[in-house]
Amino acid sequence: MSRFARRRLLALAALLAPLALRPGHAAAENFPSRPLTVIVPFAAGGPTDTVSRLVAEAMGRDLGQTVVVENAGGAGGTIGAQRVANARPDGYTLLLHHIGMATTPTLYRKLAYDPVGGFETIGLVTEVPMTLVAKKDFPANTLAEAIQVIRRDQEKLNYANAGIGAASHLCGLLLMKAVDAPMTTVPFRGTGPAMQELLSGRIDLMCDQTTNTTEQINSGALKVFSVTTNKRIPALPNVPTSAEAGLPAFQVTVWHGLYAPKGTPPEVTRRLSAALQAALRDPKLVARFAELGTAPVAQEMATPEAHRTFWLADIAKWKPIIQAAGQYAD
Ligand code: MLT
């Protein structure tokens, strides 16, 4: 090779080196340049789906791209989570999931993906109260009466959840422990489908998030016995807290977060976090969240760092609780 040709090659290499040193840098600079997908790890029509669709629509406005919501239910949310853990780390495939991301690492011992190391955090989204609801003709009108029925009928009662590790599963565990009586658990791919069975009367009881139960409660289509927060919520002012209704141990709320696959460039996760924060300020989203009994997290919690800190602390909180119960998914 002539000296001139070698000099040109070295000059070209020096020009391109910065790009080569930061893989995906060019792609990150133009992000997003096409529609994105948010995977919801539960069936359509449930509380996680409801939150995700509101967030996706508002994020899309900030990003200037369509954000498509795709439901991938099953196995307590781990099927959808695995989809995202295995996706290209380019920011175009995201996961919106809840407290299940904190219980899965302990509940599931043989996962085909890393339930913690497989993800980048984008930010927390919302923390949703839960409600204990029953079919319309359930033979009780207060939590105390419902507890008597549960202790009397036990496995004759059908309790619905969205699989092991789902919020509805954890809430059911807390309820059965607090009442000290088992029920027959019926798993669904999400509490959207479970709600249809409750409304039909084929399911007796369910613990589900206000984002899925508020409108059914207010329309009289369901009975409600308590809300699982430490104070009443504006969307359901006449519903007592579990403590008021005599079961103080029955308290749980469901936090939700947004994730990307491990290895997604920091410039991309920062852009996504900015879009999430803009979505959580969106008046239309804030108003709809309030109608459904919840509210966006504070802006400073919708950051990758705050989300990761919160998530790792919640994993550590649930680990001894699950190990003491000795109930695992596999
Ligand atoms: C759950 O964990 O129970 C889920 O929120 C159910 C769902 O979103 O369908």
Task: Output the pLDDT for position 10.
Answer: 67
Q: Quote the percentage of the chain above a pLDDT of 90.
A: 86
Among the residue ranges 6-20, 46-60, 129-143, the one predicted with the least confidence is 6-20
Residue of 48, 128, 169 to mutate, ligand 1, most atoms within 8 A of C-beta:
48
- How many C-beta atoms surround the C-beta of residue 319 within 10 A? 15
Closest to 124 (Cα-Cα) out of 321, 294, 293:
294
Residue 14 has pLDDT above 70, yes or no: no
Distance (Å, rounded) from C-alpha 277 to C-alpha 329?
34
- Give the domain ranges of the chain: 35-127+254-325, 129-227
Task: Output the pLDDT for position 15.
Answer: 57
- How many C-beta atoms surround the C-beta of residue 44 within 10 A? 18
Residue 22 has pLDDT above 80, yes or no: no
Residue 260 has pLDDT above 60, yes or no: yes
CATH number for 129-227 (one of 3.40.190.10, 2.170.190.11, 3.30.70.20, 3.30.70.520): it is 3.40.190.10
Plot region of 105 (φ>0 → left; ψ -120 to 50 → alpha; else → beta): alpha
Atom of ligand 1 nearest to the CA of 50: 8
Residue 23 has pLDDT above 60, yes or no: no
Residue of 95, 208, 252 to mutate, ligand 1, most atoms within 8 A of C-beta:
208
Mean residue pLDDT of the chain comes to 93
| Confidence band of 29 (pLDDT split at 50, 70, 90) | confident
**Mean pLDDT of the region 12-23:** 52
Task: Output the pLDDT for position 19.
Answer: 46
Residue of 209, 211, 213 to mutate, ligand 1, most atoms within 8 A of C-beta:
209
Peptide bond into 89 cis (omega under 30): no
Atom of ligand 1 nearest to the CA of 209: 5
Distance (Å, rounded) from C-alpha 202 to C-alpha 299?
42
Q: How far is the CA of 250 from the centre of ligand 1 (A)?
A: 18
Task: Output the pLDDT for position 2.
Answer: 73
| Confidence band of 16 (pLDDT split at 50, 70, 90) | low
The three-state DSSP-derived secondary structure of the chain is: CCHHHHHHHHHHHHHHHHHHHCCCHHHHHCCCCCCEEEEECCCCCCHHHHHHHHHHHHHHHHHCCCEEEEECCCHHHHHHHHHHHCCCCCCCEEEEEECHHHHHHHHCCCCCCCCCCCEEEEEEEEEEEEEEEECCCCCCCCHHHHHHHHHHHHHHCEEEECCCCCHHHHHHHHHHHHHCCCCEEEECCCHHHHHHHHHHCCCCEEEEEHHHHHHHHHCCCCEEEEECCCCCCCCCCCCCECCCCCCCCCCCEEEEEEEEECCCCHHHHHHHHHHHHHHHHCHHHHHHHHHCCCCECCHHHCCHHHHHHHHHHHHHHHHHHHHHHCCCCC
Protein residue whose Cα sits closest to atom 9 of ligand 1: 190
Task: Output the pLDDT for position 25.
Answer: 61
Q: Quote the percentage of the chain above a pLDDT of 70.
A: 94
CATH number of the structural domain 35-127+254-325: 3.40.190.150
Residues lining ligand 1, Cβ inside 6 A: 42-43, 46-49, 98, 100, 162, 166-168, 190-192, 209
Angle of helix 304-325 versus helix 100-107 axis, rounded to 10: 40
Q: Is residue 74 a contact partner of residue 233, using CB atoms and an 8 Å limit?
A: no
Distance (Å, rounded) from C-alpha 135 to C-alpha 152?
17
Atom of ligand 1 nearest to the CA of 191: 9
| Confidence band of 1 (pLDDT split at 50, 70, 90) | low
Task: Output the pLDDT for position 325.
Answer: 80
Digit-coded pLDDT (tens) for 210-221: 999 999 999 999
Protein residue whose Cα sits closest to atom 8 of ligand 1: 48
Torsion sign, CA atoms 214, 216, 220, 224 = negative
Q: How far is the CA of 144 from the centre of ligand 1 (A)?
A: 26
Task: Output the pLDDT for position 84.
Answer: 98
Task: Output the pLDDT for position 321.
Answer: 86
| Confidence band of 67 (pLDDT split at 50, 70, 90) | very high
- How many C-beta atoms surround the C-beta of residue 298 within 10 A? 11
Task: Output the pLDDT for position 21.
Answer: 43
Residue 12 has pLDDT above 80, yes or no: no
Q: How far is the CA of 28 from the centre of ligand 1 (A)?
A: 33
Task: Output the pLDDT for position 54.
Answer: 98
Atom of ligand 1 nearest to the CA of 42: 9
Residue of 71, 104, 168 to mutate, ligand 1, most atoms within 8 A of C-beta:
168
Q: How far is the CA of 191 from the centre of ligand 1 (A)?
A: 5
Task: Output the pLDDT for position 20.
Answer: 44
Atom of ligand 1 nearest to the CA of 192: 9
**Mean pLDDT of the region 243-260:** 95
Distance (Å, rounded) from C-alpha 297 to C-alpha 128?
10
Task: Output the pLDDT for position 24.
Answer: 53
Task: Output the pLDDT for position 324.
Answer: 85
Same fold: 35-127+254-325 with 129-227: yes
Among the residue ranges 13-17, 232-236, 283-287, the one predicted with the least confidence is 13-17
